[in-house]
Structure 1
Amino acid sequence: MRFVNWIAAATLIAAASPLVAQETQDPAEALREMEIACAGAEELWPVTLCGPVILVDPNSREAVANRPGGSLEEHDGVYRGEWPAGMPVANTALSWEGQQWAMVMLPLRGDRFDRLRLLAHESFHRIQPELGHTIADPIAAHLDEMDGRVWLRMELRALAQALESGGEAGQAAVLDALAFRTMRQGLYPGAAEIERQLEAHEGIAEYTGMRFALDVTGEDIERAAGLTRRFEQRPTYVRSLGYGTGPAIGLLLDRYQPGWRDGLDGAAIDPGGLLFAALPAPTAVSEADVVARAQLYGLDAVLTEETERAERIAAERARYLQELVEGRVLVLDLPDNLLLFNPNTILSLGDHGNVYPGAILMGPWGQLTLHDGGALAPGDRSRATVAAPETLDAAATVDGPGWTLVLEEGWRFVPGARQGETRLVPVGQPD
C-alpha cells in the first residue's frame, strides 16, 4: 500500500465548517470560483494561496482538480478521475505526483462564504512548509477539564464581543479575553505552549480562511463573530482550539497591529502573545476581579453546564478505560501516522492517550474503519488500540466490535505484550 506525504493533520470532516447539512456546490464550479477569487484577492502571505486543489468524494473516490495529476483527465477546464485506491481522503494538504496539494472532501457546502473559507484554509496548509511555519499537532488535554473549558468559553465570548465592538468597548472586551486566557493557562502547567502550537497551526490556517472569505464576499465581521460564538457549542476543544480562537485573534490583530503577518518567525508563531503585545499593558487584576468580569459573560450558566458535562465525561472515560486499557484489544502500528479523525469528538484519557471515535486507521496491513466506539492512540499517533473479540482470524475482511478491517495479504494476528492483547505482524515474522 502506497501512502502520500501528509503535510497537515488529516481530518474526516470540515472541522472549520458548521456541522449542519446545506445545499451542495458543483465541484468544477467551486474550483473555478476559487481560482477567480484567489487571483483577485489580497495576498495575505508571501506565498500565494493560489495553487493545486483536489476535491475528492470519500465514498465514490471521484476526484476533481484544478491541475493535472496522476491519471486525471482534462474535462471543461478541470481534471477528473478516480482517487487511487488505498490513499486516504481527508481535508488536509499533501504531496502527490511531485506537487503540493490542498485536498477537500466532497460534497462542498452551498454557502459561498463557508466554501471559500474551507478551500483557503486547506490552501494555507499547502503553503505552510514553504512559509517555514512549524507544523505541530498536539492534544490540549486540559481543555477537556472543567476549568479549562469554562475559561475558554469565557474567552470565546469576549473575543466575539470584541469583534462586534469598536473603540473602548472593543478594547475592553479584548482585555477581558486575555484575562480569561491568563486565568486558564495559569491553572495548567504547559498549557500556554500547547495552545500556542494549536493556534500557530490550525489557528493561522482558519484565520486565513476567514480573512479570505470576508475579503472576497464582502461580508461583515459579524459573520466571524457569529462563528466564534458557534464554536463554543462543539463537544470538545482538545484538538480544535485554533479553529475557535485563531480567526478572532487574527482579525483583532488586523485591527490593533496591522502588518502583523509580515516577517512572522515560523518556528515560534504566537498569535495570542502578539495580541497581548498589541494593546496597552492591562492593569494587574486579582482573580476575584477576573471572576467578576466573567459574570458579565454568563459565567454562572456556563459553570452549571460544565458541571453536568463533567459527570457525563467521567462515565464515558470509565467505559473507554475498561474497553481499551483493561479489556481485550487489537493494537495496530501506524508507521505513517495515518489516523483520520473528527477533531470535535476526541476524548483525553490522560497518560493513556486520546480516544478518537469514528476514526479510520491505515497502515501497511490495510484499513480499519470504526462504525461505533473509538480508537485509543498516544500523542504521536504511532499506534492505535481498538476493542477486540475473543478470537481474530486473518481474512480479506475482518469484523470486530464496532469496526471493519480490510486486511492486506501477508498479515496475521499474534498475541500481544499482555494477556488479552492482539497484534498484526507480517507472515513469517516471529511472534
Structure 2
Amino acid sequence: MNRGILPLFLLPLAGLAQIDPQRATEFFNEAKTLCEHEGGKLWKTSLCGPIVFADPATKTIATNQPAPEGPRPRVLGFANTAIDWGGVRWTTISWPFLTALQGGQGQVMIHELFHRIQPQLGLFIPDLPNDHLDTADGRYWMQLEWKALSRALDSSGGTRLAALRAALGFRAARRSRFSGAAESERTLEINEGLAEYTATVVAAASSLEATRHAIQQLAKAPAEPTFVRQFAYPTGAAYGILLDAYAPGWTHRIQPGDDLGKLLEASAHIRPQKDVEAAAESYGGLEIRNWEARREVEQKAYVAALRRRFVDEPVLILPPGRNFSFSSIGMTPIPGEGTIYPSFRIAAAWGTLEASAVLVSPDSNKLSVPAPPVIEGKTLKGDGWSMTIAEGWVLGPGPRAGDFQLLRER
C-alpha cells in the first residue's frame, strides 16, 4: 500500500516560533502507517482519522487534512483529546507535549486516535474519582496487583495461572476495603485502560514487544506521585494483552459495563486467590507496606499544606467549564474538599485560566485558586495562576471574608 507523504496544512503566526512542518509530517505519517497496518482488526473500524497538532504559545496548528473554516476550538494546544470541529471528530494533540517526548510519539497518537472512535464503539462512559488510590492501603493492594500481572505476562502455564489468581485476589481485596472502588476503577479502565491497551499493541512491532512494553509500564507505575488516575494505563494494557491470550477477539465483544478483571477470570477459568496475605509475601508485600507507611507521613503533611492554600486561606472561586486540560500526574485528593488538578488550563464562557494547580470540587461545580488576585484590567494573576476575564463577567466578594468569586455582570 502506498504510504507516501501525507498532506500537511500549517497555519503560521508571523514573528513567533512555529510548528515544524517537517516534523509534523513525519508524525502524521507515523500515525498513518501504524493505523493502516492495524487495519481495523481490533475494533472493527479504522483508527485513522483527522489529527490536529496545536501550539498554544504561537497559536499555530498543523493538520493532516484541511482545517474547517471558522473559529477554532479553544482547547486546541492545551489538551490531548478528541473534539468535534466543523462537524467532524478530530484527534487533537499538544505540539509541545508531543515534541518533548523522548520517543513513543506513535503510542501517544494511537492512544488519542482510539479516544476519537471510542464513542462510536459505545465505550466512552463517565468515569468516577478514585481517591482511595491515594491511601496507603489502596496503593499497597494496587502495587501487589501490578506485580502479579507483571509475573503473569512474563510467564506461561501453571506459573501464569497462579500469578493471575494472585492479581485477581489482590484486586478483590482492595475493592472490598473501599466502598464504590470496583465501579470507579472499572469505569476508568474502560475509558483510559482500553486506549492504552490499543496504543501498546498497535505501536509495537510484535506481540512480544507489546508484552515487554506492558511489563515496563507496570514496573514504572509505582514511581508515579499518585495512582488516582494513572493506575488505569498500565492495568488496562496488562489485562488487555492477557485477554488476547485467553479470549481472542474480546475487543469485538466487550460491553461498557464489563470489568476487565472479571472478563479475564471467566476466560481463563480461574478464581481469585483467597489467602491474599500469604500470597502478598511472595510479591514483596512487607517492603511495600514499609514504603507506604513512610510515604503516608509525608503525604499527610503535603495534603495539609494544600488544604491551607486551597481551602483554609482566601481563595478565588470560579465556575466550571467544559474545555479544560490538566496533568493526571500528581492529582491529589483533599478529603471532603475535592481534588487538586496540576497544570490546569481552561477556556470557558467566563474567560481563560492557566494554573500550576486548581482545586476541583467533588461535584465538579466549582474551581478554586489561591487569592487575592492582582488585577490588571481584565487580567487577574495570583499565586501560580493567571486568567483573563471575558466580557460580561466581574470579580466580586466570595462567600467568606477574604474570598473572591467570578460573577456574571448585572
Structure 1 residue 387 corresponds to structure 2 residue 359: no
Equivalent in the alignment of 2:42: 44
Q: Does 1:306 align with 2:288?
A: no
2:189–2:232 Cα contact (<8 Å) kept: yes
Q: 1: distance between equivalents of 2:214 and 2:220?
A: 10
SS at match of 2:252: coil
Structure 2: which amino acid aligns with 1:412?
V
Q: Distance in 2 between matches of 1:149 and 1:156?
A: 10
Higher RCO (C-alpha 8 Å, min separation 6) = 1
Sequence identity of aligned pairs in percent?
34
Q: Which amino acid aligns with 2:93?
A: V
Which residue does 2:199 correspond to in 1? 209
Matches within 5 A, 1:167-178: 167-178=157-168
Question: Which residue does 1:426 correspond to in 2?
Answer: 408
Establish whether residue 399 from structure 1 lines up as the match of residue 397 from structure 2: no
Q: C-alpha distance in 2, partners of 1:306/1:334? A: 34
1:108-156 CA deviation, whole Å, 9 max, x = no partner?
A: 3598972221111111110111111242232200000100001101111
The answer on whether the counterparts of 1:138 and 1:379 sit within 8 Å (CA) in structure 2 is: no
**347 and 317 in structure 1: CA distance in 2 versus 1, 3 angstrom threshold:** same
From the superposition, tell whether residues 380 and 93 of structure 1 become closer, same or farther in structure 2 (CA, over 3 Å).
Answer: farther
CA–CA distance in structure 2, aligned partners of residues 345 and 112 of structure 1: 20
- Is contact 1:46-1:131 (8 Å) kept? no
Q: 1: distance between equivalents of 2:147 and 2:311?
A: 37
1:250 to 2:240 alignment? yes
What is aligned with 1:26? Answer: 23
Q: Read off the aligned partner of 1:301 and give its amino acid letter.
A: E
* Consecutive unaligned residues in structure 2, runs of 5 or more: 1-21
TM-score, normalised to structure 2's length? Answer: 0.88
- The answer (yes or no) to whether the contact 1:113–1:217 under 8 Å persists in 2 is no
For the pair 1:364 / 2:349, whether they are aligned, the reply is yes
Distance, in Å, in 2 between the alignment partners of 1:179 and 1:413 is 52
RMSD, matched Cα: 2.4
Query: Any residues of structure 2 matched to 1:132-143 within 5 Å, and which?
Result: 132-143=122-133
Question: Does structure 1 residue 349 correspond to structure 2 residue 334?
Answer: yes
1:10-409 aligned within 5 A = 26-42=23-39, 43-70=41-68, 87=76, 89-107=78-96, 108=98, 114-215=104-205, 219=209, 221-266=211-256, 268-282=257-271, 285=274, 289-336=275-322, 338-371=323-356, 374-389=357-372, 393=375, 395-409=377-391
CA distance in 1: counterparts of 2:73 and 2:126, whole angstroms: 28
Structure 1 residue 394 displacement after superposition: 6.1
* SS of the residue 1:26 aligns to: helix
Provide the C-alpha distance between the structure 2 equivalents of 1:333 and 1:425, rounded to a whole number of angstroms.
8
**Once the two structures are superposed, what CA deviation does each residue of 1:289-347 show, in whole Å capped at 9, x if it has no partner?**
312221222212211211111111111211222222221010000242x3421111111
Distance, in Å, in 2 between the alignment partners of 1:260 and 1:216 is 19
Offset of residue 410 of structure 1: 3.4
Contact 1:368 1:405 in 2 (8 A): yes
2-structure distance, mates of 1:263, 1:197? 17
- Give 1:333's aligned amino acid: P
Deviates further, 190-199 or 112-121: 112-121
Distance in 2 (CA, whole Å) between partners of 1:109 and 1:156 is: 30
Residue correspondences, number: 387
* Contact 1:56–1:62 (8 Å) recurs in 2: yes
Counterpart Cα distance in 1 of 2:99 and 2:277:
40
Q: What is residue 76 of structure 1 aligned with on the other side?
A: none
SS at 1:361 equivalent:
strand
Residue equivalent to 2:394: 412
Q: Distance in 2 between matches of 1:293 and 1:149?
A: 17
* Per-residue deviation, residues 264-305 of structure 1 (Å, max 9, x unmatched): 223x132121112122233762xxx31222122221221121
Quote the Cα distance in structure 2 between the aligned partners of 1:112 and 1:122.
Answer: 18
**1:63–1:83 CA contact under 8 A, matched in 2:** no
Q: Which runs of 5 or more structure 1 residues have no equivalent in the other structure?
A: 1-24, 73-81
Instruction: Please say if residues 37 and 216 of structure 1, whose CA atoms lie closer than 8 Å, have aligned partners that are also in contact.
Output: no
Match of 2:4 in 1: none
What SS does the corresponding residue of 2:250 show, helix, strand or coil? coil
Cα distance, 1:393 vs structure 2: 3.8
Shift in Å at residue 90 of structure 1? 0.8
For 1:384, the aligned partner's letter is L
Question: Is the 8 Å Cα contact of residues 55 and 77 (structure 2) preserved in structure 1?
Answer: no
Instruction: Tell me how far apart the structure 1 counterparts of residues 287 and 87 of structure 2 sit (CA, whole Å).
Output: 53
Change (3 A) 1:200 1:91: same
- What is the CA distance between 1:220 and its match in structure 2? 5.1
Label 1:281 to 1:86 Cα distance change in 2 as closer, same or farther (>3 A): closer
Task: State the alpha-carbon separation in 1 of the partners of residues 212 and 253 from structure 2.
Answer: 29
Q: Which amino acid aligns with 1:307?
A: A
1:163–1:221 Cα contact (<8 Å) kept: yes
